[in-house]
Amino acid sequence: MPRRRTRRRRREVRRVPRSDATLPEFDRGAVPEGLVTRRQLRDMGLSPGGNDGPVAILRCKWCGYRPQWACIHPTRGYLLRVDLAVPKRVPTLAQEWALDAAMAARQTCGDCKRRFYFCLSKKLGCCIECFDGTPVDPSSYFASSAPAAHRLAA
Under the binding rule (CB under 5 A), the answer on residue 56 touching Zn ion is: no
Query: Which window, 8-16, 20-28, 54-62, 81-89, contacts Zn ion (CB under 5 A)?
Result: 54-62
Min dist CB 114 to Zn ion, Å, is 6
Under the binding rule (CB under 5 A), the answer on residue 23 touching Zn ion is: no
Query: Which window, 21-29, 31-39, 63-71, 98-106, contacts Zn ion (CB under 5 A)?
Result: 63-71
Under the binding rule (CB under 5 A), the answer on residue 136 touching Zn ion is: no
Site string for Zn ion, 66-105 (x = CB under 5 A): -----x-x--------------------------------
Site string for Zn ion, 98-117 (x = CB under 5 A): -----------x-xx-----
Handedness of CA 68, 73, 78, 79 (dihedral sign): negative
**Listed residue (29, 15, 25) closest to 56, CA to CA:** 25
Residues forming the site for Zn ion (CB under 5 A): 60, 63, 71, 73, 109, 111-112, 126-127, 130
